[in-house]
Structure 1
Amino acid sequence: MCSGLFNDTQRNVTLKQWYSANPDDMIPIILYQSDYLFFISGFLKMHASMSLTTLLLLISIERSFACYYLNDYEKKSRIWIAVSLLSIGFVLNFIITVTFYFNLLSLPLLILLVIAPNIIGFNLIFYTRYWNQKVTETHEKFANHSNYTLAARFQAKENIKSFQMVRKVIIAGMGMVALGIVTAILLLWNIFPLLDNFFNLIIQGEMSFTHLIVSMTIIYSVDSFRKVRLVDWESIWIKFKISRRKVAIIAVRKDSTVKTDMIKKETETYFNQLANSWT
C-alpha cells in the first residue's frame, strides 16, 4: 500500500507495478506534490532501461568511425567522437523515455520508436563488417599496400573482433527482450494470477540489472578477460599441498615470463620496422 495524500483513499486495494489499459487501476501520481519522489524514481528507472534501446546504434556509429579512420584510429585521439556519441545518445534516450513515460504516442508507434534505432544499427553494423572483411581480404592477398598500411590492417582485425562482441551482446539482449515480452504478456493477460509477484520480480530485475548483464557480456567477449580465472585453484594446490615442487614451478614460470617478454619486444620491433617500410 502506498501512503500519501492522493493514495489515502485507496483502502484494501492490491496495487501491482505494471501497465493497465484502465487508468483507474494505476497508482495516481500528482507531479510536484506528495508523490514527486515516486515520479522521479520511476522516470530514472525507465530512462536507464530505455538507454539500452540505442546501444546497438551507438556502437555501430562508433565502429563506422573506426572504419572510416582506418589508418590512424587507435593512434590519433578524436575526443569529439566520444563526446558527440554520448550527447546524441543522452538526448535520444531522454526523448524516448519522455514519450514512453507520459504515453504521448499510441502503442504501435511506441514500439516503432524502439525498433527503428535498432534497425538502423543492424544495417550500419552489417555494412561496416562487410567493409572490414573486404579490407582484410585485400591484405591477405598482399594487394596495393600503399592504400592499406599495417596500422589499417590491425584496425580492420580489431573491428572484426568488436563485431564478434556485438553479436554476443545482441544474443544476450534478444534473450532478455524475449523473456520480458513473455513475462509482460503473462502479466497483462493475467494468465497465472498466483504468480504475479514472481512475474513482477522478473520485470523489475530486467529493468534494474540489464546493464549488469550487458556489461558482463561485453567483458566476456574480450579474450584477455575471458581467460582470467577468478580463483587460481592450481596455485592454491601448490601452496598448501606440494610445497617442495612450488619453488621449481615458480622458477619455470619466471623463465617463461622472461622469454615471453623477449618475444614480445622482438615482435614489436619487427612490426614497427615493417610499418615504417610500408608507410
Structure 2
Amino acid sequence: MSIIISSLWVQWIELVIGKSIVILYQYGFYTIDERVFATIFINDYEKKSRTWIPILIVTVIHFLSIPTSYIMIENMTTIEIALIGMFLISTGFSTGFLFVLKFNRRIEFKKTLTLSQKFQVKENIRAISILRTFVLVVAAYMVLICFIVTLLYLKIVQGAVLDHLVDNLISLNPIVCSLVLMSCSKVWSRKFFPAKYFHREIDTSIVMIDDTAVYFNQLKNAWI
C-alpha cells in the first residue's frame, strides 16, 4: 500500500512540475485575451460583469489543448504539425499584443475620455507593457527553433551539433521563459535581480509623486 501511495505522490508532483511549465504560456494567453476584451468594452468594462469572457477564454484553451493532447497520445505528431502549431502560436500572440498596445497608445491622450476610461487605458498599457519583452523573446525563441528544425528537415544543413542544439533549446525553453517573465515584472525583478534597481531608487520615488499628482488632478476635473 505504501508503494501505491508513494507512486500517487510522484504522479502528483509530476503534474505540479508540468503545470508550472505550461502556465507560463497560458498566463500570456490569458492576459492578452483579457486585455483585448477590456479594449473592446472600454466604456463599461469595470462596471459590468461579463462572466462569458473568462468562460470563453477557458473554453478556447481547452478546445486547443484537447486535440493537441490527443495527437501527442496517439503519436500522430509530425514535423509539419509542430511547425504549423508553433507558427500559429507566435503569430496569434504577436497580433493580439500589437493590436492592444497600438490601440491603447492611440487613445491614451484623448481629452474626451472619462476618468474610468483613462484608468482602463492605463491598465491595458501596464499589463501589455509587462508582457512586451516576454512575448517578443518567446516569439523569437520559437522562430529560432523552427528555423533550425526546418534546416534539418529539408536536409539543408546536417550534423549532430544542430540536433543537440535543438534538443537543448527545447529543454531550456521553460527556464528562459521563467527568467524573462521574472525580469518583466517589477516585483519579481526587484526580488531576484536587485542589482538592476540599485541606482534607480531616487527615480522611482519621483515617478510615484508624478503619478499621484496626475491621478488627483484627473479626479478633481471629473467632479467639475
Q: TM-score, normalised by structure 2?
A: 0.60
- Residue 85 of structure 1: aligned partner: 57
Selected match of 2:70 from 98, 121, 125? 98
2-structure distance, mates of 1:59, 1:233: 29
Instruction: Quote how far apart the aligned CAs of 1:168 are.
Output: 0.7
CA contact (8 A) 2:133 2:180 kept: no
- What number of residue pairs does the alignment pair up? 202
CA deviations over 1:216-235 (Å, ceiling 9, x no partner):
2441xx4x66566737989x
2-structure distance, mates of 1:159, 1:186: 39
- Residue 244 of structure 1: aligned partner: none
Q: Does 1:274 align with 2:211?
A: no
CA contact (8 A) 2:36 2:100 kept: yes
- Residue 209 of structure 1: aligned partner: 175
Q: Does 1:66 align with 2:38?
A: yes
| Aligned-partner SS, 1:203 | helix
Q: 1:126 to 1:200 in 2, by over 3 A?
A: closer
Q: TM-score, normalised by structure 1?
A: 0.51
Instruction: Quote how far apart the aligned CAs of 1:273 are.
Output: 3.0
Q: 1:266 to 1:184 in 2, by over 3 A?
A: closer
1-structure distance, mates of 2:159, 2:172: 20
2-structure distance, mates of 1:103, 1:165: 37
The aligned amino acid for 1:204 is S
Q: 1:110 to 1:265 in 2, by over 3 A?
A: closer
Instruction: Quote how far apart the aligned CAs of 1:105 are.
Output: 5.6
Instruction: Quote how far apart the aligned CAs of 1:101 are.
Output: 4.5
2-structure distance, mates of 1:226, 1:50: 21
Selected match of 2:135 from 155, 160, 170? 170
Q: Does 1:156 align with 2:121?
A: yes
- Residue 5 of structure 2: aligned partner: none
Q: CA RMSD in A?
A: 4.6
Any residues of structure 2 matched to 1:194-273 within 5 Å, and which? 200-206=167-173, 208-219=174-185, 222=186, 226=189, 230=194, 269-273=216-220
CA deviations over 1:172-214 (Å, ceiling 9, x no partner):
2134325544775798876136x977864553232x5355235
The aligned amino acid for 2:100 is T
Query: Whose relative contact order is higher, 1 or 2, with alpha carbons under 8 Å and at least 6 apart?
Result: 2
Identical positions, percent: 18
2-structure distance, mates of 1:233, 1:136: 31
1-structure distance, mates of 2:148, 2:138: 15
Q: 1:109 to 1:265 in 2, by over 3 A?
A: closer
Instruction: Quote how far apart the aligned CAs of 1:132 are.
Output: 1.9
2-structure distance, mates of 1:199, 1:55: 25
Instruction: Quote how far apart the aligned CAs of 1:169 are.
Output: 1.4
* Unaligned stretches of 5+ residues in structure 1: 1-36, 235-252
CA contact (8 A) 2:182 2:188 kept: no
Q: Whose helix fraction is larger, Structure 1's or Structure 2's?
A: 2
